[in-house]
């Protein structure tokens, strides 16, 4: 199975968007949208740490407002992006910003989000790589590699024999074709994260069924970013 992503029309012409910069605005909105999906809803509190040019020029380009807009569930073409900080305050979402250094390997338009919702905490590191496209590199302490260009499942589970077969068989039984599949784990027998990108939309019943497997800790479904 090849790891090469196909070029799409979206890659060529870029996103429909509000704002001055596809990297600083559209990409930042999509990073917020994906983070919201990974957390499983709108955060109650979030620390937004900006790296590189996001930190240096992000405020002028509206990166701060764009990230928060995504966390609120707004789209890249929503005129309310410019008012997202006040909308977050109205929604009771506490937002803090800080500059950070994610290391020499991090792309210049990168950020780390630390989100809280109830008793749940989630961290995500991602980058805006141009033209409104994004790349997610870390979820909590797991290394991942996905772009949101496909319907995506994240599954955190116990690392045990038969897990991959059980998951792929479940997807096959529901006629869902897997485009890309990767696994990262803490250690043998510990916890692992599966990143499954699919050609087909993923119905809620599929996600709920996967979450019911006794060795699965949590499942998140991220819609393809052209649809969120």
Q: Mind listing the pLDDT tens digit of every residue in the chain (228 residues)? A: 444 555 443 443 344 444 445 555 889 999 999 999 999 999 999 999 999 989 987 676 789 999 999 999 998 889 899 999 999 999 999 999 999 999 999 998 999 999 999 999 999 999 998 888 899 999 998 999 999 999 999 999 999 899 999 999 999 999 999 999 999 887 787 899 999 999 999 999 999 999 999 999 999 999 987 766
The DSSP output letter for 198 is E
The pLDDT score that the predictor gives to residue 77 is 86
- For 151-227, CATH gives 3.30.70.260
The pLDDT score that the predictor gives to residue 8 is 45
C-alpha–C-alpha distance, residues 34 and 39, integer Å: 9
User: ∠212-149-213 over CA atoms, to 5°?
Assistant: 10
The pLDDT score that the predictor gives to residue 23 is 54
Please state the domain extents for the chain.
Answer: 13-140, 151-227
Rounded-to-5 percentages of helix, strand, coil across the chain: 35, 35, 35
Could you say which of 3.30.1330.90, 3.40.228.10, 3.40.50.620, 3.30.1600.10 is the CATH number of the domain covering 13-140? 3.30.1330.90
The pLDDT score that the predictor gives to residue 2 is 42
């Amino acid at each position: 199975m090849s790891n090469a992503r196909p070029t799409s029309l979206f890659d060529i012409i870029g996103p429909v968007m509000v704002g001055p910069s596809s990297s600083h605005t559209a990409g930042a909105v999509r990073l917020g949208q994906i983070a919201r999906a990974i957390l499983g809803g709108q955060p109650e509190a979030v620390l937004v740490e900006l790296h590189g040019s996001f930190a240096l020029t992000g405020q002028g380009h509206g990166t701060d407002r764009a990230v928060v807009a995504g966390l609120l569930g707004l789209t890249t073409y929503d005129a309310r992006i410019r008012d997202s900080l006040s909308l977050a305050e109205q929604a009771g979402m506490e937002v803090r910003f800080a500059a950070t250094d994610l290391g020499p390997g991090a792309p210049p338009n990168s950020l780390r989000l630390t989100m809280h919702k109830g008793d749940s905490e989630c961290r995500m590191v991602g980058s805006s790589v141009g033209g409104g496209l994004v790349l997610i590199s870390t979820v909590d302490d797991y290394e991942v590699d996905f772009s949101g260009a496909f319907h995506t499942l994240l599954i955190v589970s116990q690392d045990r024999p038969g897990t991959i077969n059980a998951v792929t068989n479940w997807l096959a039984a529901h006629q869902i074709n897997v485009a890309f599949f990767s696994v990262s784990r803490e250690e043998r027998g510990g916890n692992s994260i599966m990143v499954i990108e699919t050609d087909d939309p993923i119905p809620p019943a599929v996600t709920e069924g996967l979450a019911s497997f006794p060795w699965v800790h949590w499942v998140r479904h991220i819609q393809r970013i052209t649809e969120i």
